[in-house]
Amino acid sequence: MILQFKYILKSMRLRHWIKNILIFAGLIFSLNLFDIALLVKVVVGFILFGLGASSIYIFNDLQDSQKDRIHPEKCKRPLASGDLRATNAYVSLVFLMAVSLIGAYLMDYTFLLILFVYMVMNVAYSLKIKHVVILDVMCISFGFVFRVLAGTALVGVSPSDWLIICTTTLSLFLGFSKRRHELILIGSNAMNHRKVLTDYSITFLDQMISVATACTVMSYALYTIADDTVTRFGTRNLVFTIPFVIYGIYRYLYLIHRKDMGGNPTKALISDFPMILNGLIWLVIVLWIIYHE
């Protein structure tokens, strides 16, 4: 039983919870980072959203366990490898989903609604949308946007248009990069693992990545100099953080093309030292600018 619990934790993909850090965006950019009550609320929301996302990961693994066995990396997942029993996976799925939704209900109704829609969308993704070209990546992108919306709901502020745009373009960049990695990694077995991969090509994905790259950099640059941004923070100095965003994008492109790390954005972001250092420097400078001024 202890081993089964270990495999359940592995299936929850706890390191992927780093994606939920977007929940803190609303807290930071609404200038409420040092409001202890709101900070605690967002931290709890971070955990609940993580539990909800983990339930979806397990659901997806249950749907794809057969196909994952032909994937050189996913075949190691507990369900695909046969280490985790399907019955235990279903029980843990229901438990995680119930805890996250009940907890969200007790915290904030809007947060509950966002989390519920996020789960429904991802169930639809696992069952159907992931087989529809382009829409599959857009669905992944919407998942990141829902994280931002969840955070702003907990803080009680309206999400910035620029925050939504930047999140959308960045997540599209990561999504198309992931598809590119899968196509290269699986090669001739692409159709057996995921039929939608046959609708993509390296050339097409490189074009999509290029568009998403340009949109991400430009949307962030425009955000830093937008009138409402300057008015809210009382400074134009956020423009000096643009080089760090450009470097982060270029570094990730390097990891995709030279290190074959595009298939797992989470792994790339937490294991590549230059990416980690660049992200920390960017965060420190942003906090200094918007709170010090």
pLDDT along the chain (293 residues), means of 10: 76 87 92 93 96 92 73 70 80 93 94 96 90 91 94 91 91 89 69 71 91 94 91 92 95 83 69 91 95 75
pLDDT of residue 270: 77
pLDDT of residue 215: 94
pLDDT of residue 22: 92
pTM, 2 dp: 0.89
Largest CA distance in the chain: 58
Phi/psi region, residue 31 (left: phi>0; alpha: psi -120 to 50; beta: rest), is left
Pair 38, 45: CB distance under 8 Å:
no
pLDDT of residue 16: 86
Q: Where do the domains of the chain lie?
A: 1-159
pLDDT of residue 262: 59
pLDDT of residue 13: 87
pLDDT of residue 85: 82
pLDDT of residue 43: 96
Terminal-residue alpha carbon distance, the chain: 54
Cα(141)–Cα(198) distance, rounded to whole angstroms? Answer: 21
Query: What kind of fold does domain 1-159 have according to CATH?
Result: Tetracycline Repressor; domain 2 (1.10.357)
pLDDT of residue 207: 94
